[in-house]
Structure 1
Amino acid sequence: MDLKSQFEAAVANSKTLSEKPSNEVLLQLYSLYKQATEGDNTAEPPANPFDFVAKAKYQAWEALKGKSADAAMEEYIQLVTKLKG
């Protein structure tokens, strides 16, 4: 199975986890997914300083700047595999 197929399977598996992951792990999944599918974050930072969720998501994705899509896919697959146990 090629990397893209494994990634798509991991995305599907992430939606069927037996337990909801912690917010920290959810941010990891989000940022790795965005980096794998869209590349570096080019969006403006959230304008509302009290929108903590948007700010956390933005910062998590921004932290992956420069990571290749393939590397992000591999990390995402490994994380979902670990979460599935």
Structure 2
Amino acid sequence: MSLDERFNKAAEDVKGLTKRPTDQQLLDLYGLFKQATVGDNETSKPGLLDLKGRAKWEAWNGRKGTSQEDAKEQYVSFASSLLQEYA
């Protein structure tokens, strides 16, 4: 299977988790997904009152400089560990 195929499968598989991962795990998953699909975060930082948007922005922005291929590999690996823990 190619990297893109493994990435897409992992993205689908995590939607079927039977238990909810921790907030930090979900933020890590989000940051890796955005870095893998979009690349570096070039959006403006959300305001102080948008706590959820700010946390997601920081999770993505923390991955800046990671190539999309590396982010996909990390996403597949992280998703696999979540599937073992929460499936």
TM-score with structure 1 setting the length: 0.95
Q: Which runs of 5+ in 2 are unaligned?
A: none
Aligned-pair distance for 1:50?
Answer: 1.2
Provide the rounded CA distance (Å) in 2 between the counterparts of 1:20 and 1:74.
22
Aligned-pair distance for 1:26?
Answer: 0.4
TM-score with structure 2 setting the length: 0.93
Q: Which runs of 5+ in 1 are unaligned?
A: none
Partner of 2:7: 7
Aligned-pair distance for 1:83?
Answer: 1.0
Cα root mean square deviation, aligned: 0.7
Partner of 2:34: 34
Aligned-pair distance for 1:18?
Answer: 1.6
**Would you identify which runs of 4 or more consecutive aligned residues in structure 1 move more than 2 Å?**
none
Partner of 2:24: 24
Count matched residues: 84
Provide the rounded CA distance (Å) in 1 between the counterparts of 2:66 and 2:6.
18
Provide the rounded CA distance (Å) in 2 between the counterparts of 1:26 and 1:84.
13
Provide the rounded CA distance (Å) in 1 between the counterparts of 2:76 and 2:41.
20
Q: Deviations over 1:17-73 (max 9, x none)?
A: 121111000000100000000000000111x31111101111111110000001110
Partner of 1:66: 65
Provide the rounded CA distance (Å) in 2 between the counterparts of 1:6 and 1:70.
12
